[in-house]
Structure 1
Amino acid sequence: MKLIKLDAIDSTNDFLKALSSQDQLENFTVVTAENQTKGKGQMGGKWESEAGKNLIMSVLVKDFLFNSEQVFNLSIVVSLAVTEVLKSLNIPDICIKWPNDILSYNKKLAGILIENTIKSDGRIVSVVGIGMNVNQTNYTDLPNASSLAVISGKSFDKEELVILIVERIKDKILLWQTSASDLWNDYFNSLFKKGVPMPFKNLNDQNFMGIIQGVSPIGKLQVLLEDDSVVEFDIKEVKMLY
């Protein structure tokens, strides 16, 4: 595993995307940073992180996705890899808030941002950004956030976490070749608030009740409404209220 460590960068995803234009870059190359000035979340959201305390990493993944209909498969692989690493470290009550936020006790521990580039020959090269709250303990302005240190009462080695996560991603990609349906089931079974009535908000700021039924092959959230219809929502089209 090639590891590139940076002190500070605007975005590890942007840095690795620029590097990945070189075809010879090794698969699973990782970029980490102690501080990120323009961290990105889903659909242009920001990822805030206290310098030096948290895990900021991006991983290059090649030769896994082969068409645009498959892009959510990588989200499943990565989110399951991260949850398994956290469970192995005895972090309790881990679940996945659709599409790929990682929670413990309903508090956000990690976010995942996957950016895909389609090459001229049709190949898809992916940059997987992972931001994880590790040793930061002050979340006064982020009431829905927590960290490994807050939950477990101890600090963690961030470089060890990088190695564990990348190795688990590799394992899941290999497993996908023979057990894709099992991994889909694992993902659904890990979903936050699946199968229970809960409030949502739509793009028009209207609140409604619904029950998470599943996720479509392209990653849309399937919600059962009070009129017994099932509606699919894309990222940012719906917000869970909890």
Structure 2
Amino acid sequence: MKIIKLSAIDSTNSFLKNLAQNSSLENFTAVVTKHQTNGRGQQESGWVTDPNKNLTFSLFLRFKDIKIEQKKYLNFAVSLAVYNLLFDKNVPKLSIKWPNDILSVNSKICGILIENTFSGDRIKNTIIGIGLNVNQEIFPQFNRSATSLKLKTNKEYNLDLLLDELLKEIEKTVNLFKSKKFDQLDKMYLDALYKKNIPTMFKDSKDKVFMGMISGISKNGNLLIILEDDSIKEFGIKEVSFL
């Protein structure tokens, strides 16, 4: 495991992607920064974080025999690593909001961005970006549903030690993925999935409001929702949101 520490950078995912394209990068290389100025989330959404208070890092992974159709389980593995770490820290009422936001009660405590590179029908390598709110206590108005480890546990955390713990958790769950323990990952993820089997109001991409119930995740990694007529509809990222 190799860790590159930077005082400031626009995006650790972008930095690591450029590094992977222009050099032979060691597997399980992490890039961590104290200040990320242009963090990215799902579908190019932004990720705002105060300097020196949170964990913002990216991790490079290389794979040998993982099919593209199995990539949802990588998402499961990474999400579960963060979930497990926070569970051990006694963060209350944890859940994974599809696809990979980590919530405490209804507030976001961690965001994850996974970017894969493919070769044929296989995943060649992956860059995992993680933004974990740690010691930050005040969040911007537009991010008012956010929270942090400190807010939830009333403790201050050493970011270096926390990074080491999280990387070890990722290594454990990614090893399950590499060993193709997909059924185990599937059960663990669904057990932690936010609002699963609970009647909930949703809004689709056309602003249509409807009642439904999350039943699981499709083969392609999309969200499966049971509608009021008992039919099951599949939604991709940004095609549905909680009301």
TM-score bin, normalised by smaller chain: over 0.9
Once residues 131 and 27 of structure 1 are traced to their aligned partners in structure 2, the CA distance between those partners, rounded to angstroms, is 21
Matched, 1:7 2:18: no
Q: CA deviation at 1:119?
A: 4.6
The corresponding residue for 2:99 is: 99
SS of 2:25's partner is coil
TM-score, with structure 1 as normaliser = 0.95
The answer to whether the Cα contact below 8 Å between 1:64 and 1:173 also exists between their aligned partners in 2 is no
Q: Deviations over 1:15-65 (max 9, x none)?
A: 011111256321110001111111101001100111111110100111166
Change (3 A) 1:181 1:159: same
Q: 1:212: which partner in 2? A: 214
Kindly provide the amino acid, as one letter, of the partner of residue 131 in structure 2: G
Where do 5+ consecutive residues of structure 2 fail to align? none
Contact 2:137 2:150 in 1 (8 A): yes
- Secondary structure at the residue paired with 2:49? coil
Residue identity matched to 1:66: I
**1:69 CA drift (Å):** 1.2
Displacement after TM superposition at 1:198 (Å): 0.5
Match runs of 1:180-219 below 5 Å: 180-219=182-221
Q: Secondary structure at the match of 1:8?
A: coil
Q: Does the CA-based 8 Å contact 1:60-1:127 persist in structure 2?
A: yes
Question: What amino acid sits opposite 2:195 in the alignment?
Answer: K
1:201–1:208 CA contact under 8 A, matched in 2: yes
Q: TM-score, normalised by structure 2?
A: 0.94
- Partner of 1:39 in structure 2? 39
How far does residue 66 in structure 1 lie from its aligned partner after superposition?
2.7
User: Does the Cα contact within 8 Å between 1:65 and 1:71 map onto a contact in 2?
Assistant: no
Q: Return the match for 1:232 from 231, 234, 241.
A: 234
1:132 and 1:64 map into 2 onto residues whose CA distance is 29
Residues 65-74 or 77-86, more deviating = 65-74
- d(CA) in 2 for partners of 1:188 and 1:121? 26
Query: Is 1:221–2:223 an aligned residue pair?
Result: yes
> CA offsets per residue over residues 130-179 of structure 1, 9 Å max, x none?
00110000025122100001111111111112111111111112223153
Please state if 1:169 is matched with 2:170: yes
Q: How many residues align?
A: 241
The aligned counterpart of 1:88 is 88
1:71 maps to what in 2? 71
Change (3 A) 1:122 1:185: closer
Preserved CA contact (<8 Å) 1:28 1:166:
no
Q: What code does the residue aligned with 1:153 have? A: N
Could you tell me how far apart the structure 2 residues matched to 1:202 and 1:87 are? Answer: 31
2:98, 2:12 → 1: CA distance? 23
Offset at residue 67 of structure 1 (A): 2.8
Q: 1:65 to 1:52 in 2, by over 3 A?
A: farther
Residue type of the alignment partner of 1:10 = D
Q: Tell me if structure 1 keeps the 8 A contact 2:60–2:125.
A: yes
C-alpha contact 1:58 1:128 (8 A) present in aligned 2: yes
Once the two structures are TM-superposed, the CA of residue 120 in structure 1 deviates from its matched residue by 7.7
Which residue pairs with 1:152 in the alignment? 153
SS at match of 1:144: coil
Counterpart of 2:181 (choices 153, 174, 179) is 179
CA contact (8 A) 2:55 2:159 kept: yes
Q: Within 2, Cα distance between the matches of 1:139 and 1:124?
A: 37
Gap runs ≥5 in structure 1: none
Asked if the contact 1:98–1:191 (Cα under 8 Å) also holds between the matched residues in 2, the reply is yes
Letter in 1 for 2:55: L
RMSD over aligned Cα, in angstroms? 1.7
SS at 1:35 equivalent: coil
